[in-house]
Every structure is written in C-alpha cells, then in structure tokens.
Chains A and B, each alone.
Chain A
Amino acid sequence: MNVLSGKELPRDGEMLQGEALHARLDKTWRRDPGLWGWVTTTDHKDIAHRYIVTAFTFLVLGGLLSLVMRLQLATPESGLISPDRYDQIFTMHGTTMMFLFAVPVMEAMAVFLVPLMIGSRNIAFPRLNAFSYWMYLAGGILLWVAFILNIGPDAGWFSYPPLSGPQFSPGKRIDIWAQMVTFTEVAALAVSVETVATILKQRAPGMTLARMPLFVWVSLVVSLMVIFSMPAVALASSFLIADRLVGTQFFNPAEHGDALLWQHMFWFFGHPEVYIIFLPGVGFVSEITATFTRRPVFGYPLLVLAVVAIGLLAFGLWVHHMFATGLPRLGYAFYTAASMAVAIPSGIQIFCWIATIWDGRPRWETPLLYVVAFIITFVIGGLTGVMLASVPLDLELHDTYFVVAHFHYVLIGGAVFPLLGAITYWFPKFTGRLMSERLGKTSFWFVFLGFQLTFAPMHWAGILGMPRRVYTYPTGLGLEQVNLLATIGAFVLATGFALFLVNSLMSMRRGTVAGANPWDASGLEWATSSPPPPYNFPHIPVVSSRHPLWDHRDHLPVMTGLRVDDRELLLTTVMEARPDLREPSPLPSSWPLWAAITSTILFISSIFTPWAVLYGSVPVAITLIAWFWPKGPVTPEPVIQ
C-alpha cells in the first residue's frame, strides 16, 4: 500500500545501511537537546533511568528512616525520638519502600528492559510513560515534603481505619498518604498498561509467547496483576479520603460502615502487591542464572507456569492478613490452604534455578552471588511464610517481629537481592560501563551478612512476644540483645548499600567500558550497543529460538522495511509474533508533563476541598485534549515486506 505522494519513502534495509542508517535513525529518534528535550522525552530508556534513580533515592531515604528506628530500638525505653515522630517514621518507611521504591523500581526495570528484550524501538504509549513518571515523582515529593513539615502520615503503611479515619487521625496527615497512594496508583497502572501492550504487540518477529525471555513473561504477569489489584486500593483510599473530607460513612461502624471493609480491600491489593514486587525478582534471577551458568534455565515452561500460578494464587489469600479479626473459622482453612499452595510453584522455581547452576558452568560473579543469596534468604522467608499461613501459628505470631522478619526475608531476599544483582548485571546496558567486581563483591558480603544479622534476630524477638510498630519496649523481657544485634546488623546492611551506591556512581564514570554483550548473554537486549542508541536497534531482529544470541553468535537475522524518517514501530501478532502492522510512535511532547502538573494540582487540592475534583478536572481535561489532539494521518499501515 502506498501513502502520500506515491514517492518511495526512506526505509531501512536496502535503501539505507550502516553509518548512513544510524545517522538517519538517530536524527529521527533522538530527543531534543537541552533541558527541554530532557523534559519532553518519550524514550523509554530515559524515563526508566530517571525512574530508577528516583526509586533508589527513595530507597536511601526509606533506609535512613529504618536506621533511625533501629537506633531508637537499640535499647529499651529509649527516648531518642518521640512516639509521634516514630509513628510517622515507621509509616513513612513502609510507605516509601512499598509504594515509592519497590513497585516503581520493578516497573522501571521493565520499562527499560522489556522493549530491548523483545527487540522493539520504544515502549507502547511512550507519552503515557512520561506522564506516569511525573505522577510518581509528584506523589513521592508530596509525601516527603509532608514528612519534613511534621505532617507525615502516622497510621502505618496499611492505614487501618478507624485509626486513620476522621476522628482518630486529625489533620491532613492521612489525606496526604491516601493521595500519595492515588498518585502511585495512576503511575503504576499507566506503566502496566504500556508493558502489557508492548509485550503483546511489539515483540520481534518470531518471538512467540513460548520464546519470550522469562523476565518478559514475569513483566506481563506482574502488569496484569497490577491492573487487577491496584484499583482495589485506589478505591479504598478514595473511600478513606471521602470519609475524612466529606463525611461519608464507609468505615464508620456506628453508621453501619465497616472497619473491616478497608482491610479486605487493602489486602486484596496488599497481598498481590507482595508478589508484584517479588515476581520481577524471579525474572532477574532467571536471566542472571542463565547467563552466568552459560546454560539455558532448566524447566522454562515450568517456570512460566509457576509465575502464572503465583500470579493467580496471589489473589486468593489476602485473608491470611486478617486471621485475628474474628472471621468465620471454617473460611480460614481455605486461605490457609491457598497460602500454603504458593509454596509449590515457589519450590519448583527454586529447584529449577539450582538445577541450572548444578548443570551449567557457573561463573561466580556478583550477580550470581546475589542469586545464591536470594535463594537462601527467600527459602527461609518462604518457610516462615508457610508457618504464618497456619491459623494457630499466625494467631500467635501475627503482628510481631516474627512477621517483620518474615516479610523482610521475602521482600529483601526475594526482590532486593535479585534487583541488586540485576543492576550489576544490566549496568553496562544502562551506562555502557561495567561495575567494579571487587567493590561489588565487598558490598555483596556486607549486604548479605548485614541482612541476616538484622533480620534473623527479629524472628526470635517476635517469638519472645515483641509486637510490631512499637516505639519502645520495656526492659526485662529478654528483648535487649536481639534488638541490639538487629541494630548492629542494620548498620552493616546500610554500609553494604552505601558501598553499592558508591560502586555504581564510580563505575558510571570510571568503570571498564563494556561492549555490546560483555557477559556473553543470550537475550536481544545484548544485541545492540551499550548503552543502546535512542532507536534501540538499527534493524528489527528476527528470532527463532529462546536464546537468539547464543544461536546466532555472529549474525542475528533482521527484518527491514521500517521508515527511518519517522518514528515507526513494528507490531506483530499476539501469539505467533508474525509481522502485522507498522505503527507510528509518538514524538516528544511536553503535554504529559503539563497533564501531570494539572493532575497534581487536582489531587493535592482535593485533600482540602472536594470541589477541587470538579474545578481541577478542567485544566486536566485541557491538557489531555492537547496531548491527544490528532496530528495528521496516524493510522497504522500494513507491513511492506
């Protein structure tokens, strides 16, 4: 089919090759120069970079808070910080880590990696991607500015009403928290939609579902989980803010609202949330293991099934957070069984990774060390999780430091260790340079041992009867030593993180320059230069197996025919990834930023008056209309082979 003037349009392939092609593509895809270009960019790599940097900033902030808490808890009856401030601190720690670090950083990794792994030039809906980052940033800043102003939320990251309701949480603290949730929900939902669309429609020709890298599978499952779970918490936080601001009665038992409604809605999101954070770790570990053992991951189909199974099961076990609320006992048995069932796919995964190492030729470099740390830590966390799934054990251990230990084992062990490994592994793809292996190993040991020293004693503290969320504990209950140990451990752990950050900052400038594929890995992201050019691939690669680079070490087959004078993506079919359409990819735009600014104004002012929702929607609508204003013929065209 021919368009416009009938003149042949510039395309890659026969017409353009080599340097000329690079130059032409670069002109088309490069972002505008200067600050303006930085602000308006729609390049998924740029946005992922700033997402990751922001998320790690929040990690550092949240980590500093945890150090303050550990200092307070190092000795019994300590008067270091006031209880009011302590409540804000632990709330901020949990909120920051869950909403502002863990979920966004995992999404950011997907935003960076998925288009590269599936051989596409950009993510789907790149402007939405830009918008999501600004929303996330605004939510994070809102929360932290509030904290600095001493109006940080203080009802815990779970914010159970009635404690978080209008009567027992005066002021705007909880409203700020609830609106922060709204910000991050918008951001997360946006990214998830992009990721799903990208994965389903933009895979390189030949990359059938069964040939997708495991991390892409995980991203698909996680994004769908986000789409299904996050609306629950967005709704819950809207209910809460309505209760607090306009006097609705959702959570007021006196007027036949129900305090437990919140818990159901929150944990319907909150439990999948844990897997949303953990499953990307599964993806990282699978990729790292394959690369560093130089063997394809054992049991690929099983791993995929396990990920899908966990994704489904995650929605059926939120009630195990509520065993102490006095729900009917028979119902508990179902949730016990469902919670325990998660151990089966997890166990299969663990086996597959160890089997891969066992059967491969492992190179013990930092990323693989993190995998081993992950396996050990996550297995321990999983086993304590099985204990907590049992109703009688949970009733004893619930809301104690045993649970604190458990979920840090699962979340840090299951998600942060793989993440640190993943950062080390893909660092050359981010920056073009390798991280220092020596410093990397040092920081690994600090992190791993510091972690165990911090959180292992907490199991014991919980069994001894130390409840969570206390700003102090009395002398003489035998809690002194375990808490002191944990505090020491926390500082060791913090040292490890500090070394990791130092390593990444130093390596960014002075690290060994990496080639396109420094680890001899198999995925498509290694088929392009490090860091990748704005257009990712000069030609769209064609895939015929799960390990394209191992199969075609020297010459990856490519397909040609995409326009080079316009941003164009190749769309393929959902299952078989046959080339289908050529789709224009949006140009840089400042409208996502303006839309984010107007939305921010709407969200923040709706903390103060419900009318803001009405008035504030006008500028939001204006910016959205400008953003979506049609700009000439943009219909996708069939592929010309």
Chain B
Amino acid sequence: MAPLVAGGKVLVGNAGGEFGVRGWLAALDAGSGRLAWKAYNTGPDKDVLIGQAFRPFYPMDRGKDLGIHSWPPEQWKIGGGTVWGWISFDPASNTIFYGTGNPGPWNHEQRPGDNKWTAGVFARNVSTGEAKWFYQTSPHDLYDHDDINEQILLDMPVAGRMRLVLIRPGRNGYLYVLDRQTGQVLSADPFGYINSSRGVNLRSGRLIPVKEKEPQAGRVVRNICPTASGAKDWNPSAFSPRTGLIYIPHINLCMDLGVLEANYVVGTPYLGAESKVYAGPGGYRGVLTAWDPVARKPAWEVHEDLPLWSGALATAGDLVFYGTMDGWFKAVDARSGKLRWRAKVDSGIISQPVAYRGADGREYVAVISGVGGWAGALVSAQLDPRDNSAALGFVNAVRDLPNKTKSGGRLFVFALDG
C-alpha cells in the first residue's frame, strides 16, 4: 500500500492476507519515524487498540476480546485482516478510516465465528490509534472479500437530513453509506450483480448470506457472484462534486469456488481454495458505473469487455478518465457516460490516472500502462491459460488477454489542450 501522511503520522499497513499473517496498521511519527502506535486487526483488545472510546454501532461488534473469541483457538494469530488499501482522513474529527482485509484462510470452515476484526472498516483516532468504531461488512467472510476499498467522505442529505457519511463500494457488491461518526449503515445498495447475499440487514448490520452459495469442503459451488476479487477490487472510484456522482470502475464476474483444507506452513500461501472466474450475466467483464448516492441508483453505466482494473479520475471539465486492460485510455462525459476521447497505449492500464497542472501552466493527464496484478498476471507473468485455476482462477476470466495486449510499463502523459 501507499503510505498515507495524516495528522502528523505516516500510516503504513501490511499485506499478505493469503499467507497466514496477522494484519496491522502502524503509525510512524512523521518527524522522527518512530513508531507511534500499532493496531492489530485480530487478537486481544489491547493489541487492536480497543479501549474506552470504542463505540461500535451494532451489538455484533460489542464485547470483550472479540478478536479472540470470534476465532477458533490460535487461528487469530494467522487470521489475516491486513491493511493494504486506502486510508481516509477526516481532519475535522482527527479520525482515519480504513478497511481490513479478508480473514485467512479462504476455506471458511477452518475459522468458524465472525473473525473480528477482518473484512470491516475501522475508525481510529489518528493521534492515539484508539478505535472509535468498527463495522464488519462481511462477518465470517466466505469469499475473500477484503474490505480494503476506498472510502469517500461526503456530507450529503440522507432521508432529508444532512449527514456526515462515508461511502464505500464494497467487495461484496454493496455500496455502503455509513454515518462516519457512529458507523451506522444508512444504506447498502448493490451496484453490481450479486447472488451470494440477499442484502444487508440494516438493524443488525449483518450481511444476509445465501446458504446455497456457501462454499463447503469437497464440493465446488458454482456461479457465485461476485467473485473473490469482489464486485469491485481495490481500484478506486472518483467523486465529482460538480455532478454529485460517484464513478465506480468495477467488474462483472462470477466464479466457481471449491474449498479444501489449508495447511499452515510458514512462508507459504494459506488459502485452501481453488476457483474459476468467468464473466457475469451479460457477458461483459468490466463496468464503469456513475452512481447517484442521493437517489441511491446508478445514473449511467459503461460496459467494458475486459475487467475494469484501473482507477477513475473525474475532472472539473466534466470528464471521467479511466483505462482498460487492452490499453485504451478513455475519457467519457461525466453526465452521460458518452465516450469523448480515447487513446491506445502500448499495454493495458491497471493504474490510477492523475490530472495536474504542470510547471508550464498546462493541464496534463498522466497514466501508467502495463498490465499485471491479479487480473493481468496471465500476460505480465506469462501464466498458462490451460490451467483455469491459475492466478486463483482469474486467468480463466481473461483468457483472451494475451491477444489484446502485451506486458509493458510506461508513463503516458497527455496534455489536455494539446
């Protein structure tokens, strides 16, 4: 993850949720580099920095040492809950918000319980690290739904009242609107196709799972949507205050998932799952959704053939920039979604575009090309598509990728008025 500097602290977390690690977020003093605090995401309350100030909204998150009691013995020590995504800082309340990764191993049968504090979002005092609230989007996560996605801090009307909210399009396919002061879920609406859960119970805060889609050892469960990569992975959305829309680059994929016993050996993957990923209903694999958070529905959608794995960028010129895995860098109209401009770059784009005014006073948009990561490993690491479980099954979803792009790694800078 990229470190975030906030409130005089440099915040860094760890990754490796597939290796049986124990997730944490640490704050280093920006001046001295000394460790200010370190909050684990599993284990006893004192490790998680849960104290008197901790006021979770839902009863399921209240209790002593839930980071131990919601796990089988010893499992919390290797239970994941890493922090490798985005941290948001609210200077007004001196609070940071971040999501925690999936519990490990993927085979959920090996970790009965809610597996606190994984797959949820923490609000912490940035100075002390003390937890303020926590909300778990996927208690006892079944599908590797890390909850590390970005959070968008907005002040917006909800049911007629202005609320300070935190919006996050989650891995599990719901666009959560949380009260960022309390952690209450104000709404949770699906922004992609979901069949593994039936919604979120706003009273208990719990996800309502679909029993038939629950993985079980020794039998592959077919057609689970969204996939392990989520309805949307880490690639961040953009918000335009001009249109009031959130532009969510996400994916439309489903998977077959089989779990098997994971064996913990230090330094090796701790997974216990095999999957095959394929396009969801409609056959397209990527979507750019413009979401109207007030109306709680999409304003428009653009379908992309390949999974959409780049971040989105909204500009004051009412354009939304994003890149595709076959190497198109596109700009669409922020209000209608109509394609305004596109350029082909040498490789697929899975990075986040940025816009800036250069030293020469001109405006530029820059993006790095080069497929890779989970989605593009088939090309970048030359995986073998004859194995449809390669790259945790993702290779199966993008078999055509080698025909459409090649590996790369260049920075492209476009001048806006050039």
Contact = CB atoms under 8 A, between A and B. Distances in A.
The reply to whether A and B meet directly (CB within 8 Å) is yes
A256 B220 CA distance: 7
B33 interface: no
Nearest to B221: A256
A254 B219 CA distance: 4
Nearest to B274: A254
B343 to A, nearest CB: 44
Interface string A20-53: 0000000000000000000000000000000000
A638 interface: no
B358 interface: no
Interface in B215-254: 218-220, 222
A42 to B, nearest CB: 53
Interface in A213-267: 253-256
B258 interface: yes
A253 B218 CA distance: 7
Contacts of A255: 220
A326 to B, nearest CB: 15
Contacts of B219: 253-254, 256
A255 B260 CA distance: 13
Main secondary structure of the interface of B (DSSP, over half): strand
9 contacts: A253-B218, A253-B219, A254-B219, A254-B220, A254-B258, A255-B220, A256-B219, A256-B220, A256-B222
Contacts of B218: 253-254
> Which of A253, A254, A256: most chain B CB closer than 10 A?
A254
A519 B320 CA distance: 105
Given A254-B220, A255-B220, A256-B219, 7 more contacts: A253-B218, A253-B219, A254-B218, A254-B219, A254-B258, A256-B220, A256-B222
The 9 A-B residue pairs with the shortest CB-CB distance, nearest first, are A254-B220, A254-B258, A253-B218, A253-B219, A254-B219, A254-B218, A255-B220, A256-B220, A256-B219
Nearest to B260: A254
A255 to B, nearest CB: 6
A256 B218 CA distance: 9
Contacts of A254: 218-220, 258
B388 to A, nearest CB: 13
A492 B277 CA distance: 65
Interface string A384-398: 000000000000000
Interface residues of A, number: 4
A253 B219 CA distance: 6
A622 B218 CA distance: 46
Interface of A: 253-256
A474 B222 CA distance: 45
Nearest to A255: B220
A254 B222 CA distance: 11
A253 B258 CA distance: 11
Contacts of A253: 218-219
A310 to B, nearest CB: 39
A256 B222 CA distance: 10
B4 to A, nearest CB: 42
Contacts of B220: 254-256
B396 to A, nearest CB: 15
Interface in B238-297: 258
A254 B216 CA distance: 10
A249 to B, nearest CB: 10
B333 to A, nearest CB: 46
Nearest to B256: A255
A253 to B, nearest CB: 6
B209 to A, nearest CB: 21
A253 B220 CA distance: 8
B330 to A, nearest CB: 40
B219 to A, nearest CB: 6
A444 B412 CA distance: 97
A294 B229 CA distance: 85
Contacts of B222: 256
B190 to A, nearest CB: 28
A490 B222 CA distance: 54
Contacts of A256: 219-220, 222
Interface in B179-225: 218-220, 222
A255 B389 CA distance: 14
A497 B98 CA distance: 82
A148 B258 CA distance: 41
A255 B219 CA distance: 6
A166 to B, nearest CB: 16
A256 B258 CA distance: 11
A201 to B, nearest CB: 52
A255 B218 CA distance: 9
Contacts of B258: 254
A167 to B, nearest CB: 12
A522 to B, nearest CB: 62
A262 to B, nearest CB: 16
A31 to B, nearest CB: 58
A419 B51 CA distance: 85
Interface string B329-345: 00000000000000000
B27 to A, nearest CB: 45
A122 B218 CA distance: 56
A255 B222 CA distance: 9
A255 B220 CA distance: 6
Nearest to B217: A254
Nearest to B258: A254
B274 to A, nearest CB: 9
A64 B399 CA distance: 58
Most buried by A among B219, B222, B258: B219
A478 B222 CA distance: 51
Nearest to A257: B219
B83 to A, nearest CB: 34
B387 to A, nearest CB: 13
A243 B220 CA distance: 17
A254 B218 CA distance: 5
A427 B258 CA distance: 62
A254 to B, nearest CB: 5
B41 to A, nearest CB: 32
A390 to B, nearest CB: 31
A98 to B, nearest CB: 31
A256 B219 CA distance: 7
From B220, B222, B258, name the one whose CB has the most chain A CB atoms within 10 angstroms: B220
B272 to A, nearest CB: 13
A437 to B, nearest CB: 62
A535 B219 CA distance: 62
Interface in B333-391: none
Nearest to B222: A256
A561 to B, nearest CB: 69
A253 B259 CA distance: 12
B233 to A, nearest CB: 27
B221 to A, nearest CB: 10
Interface string B51-69: 0000000000000000000
A107 to B, nearest CB: 41
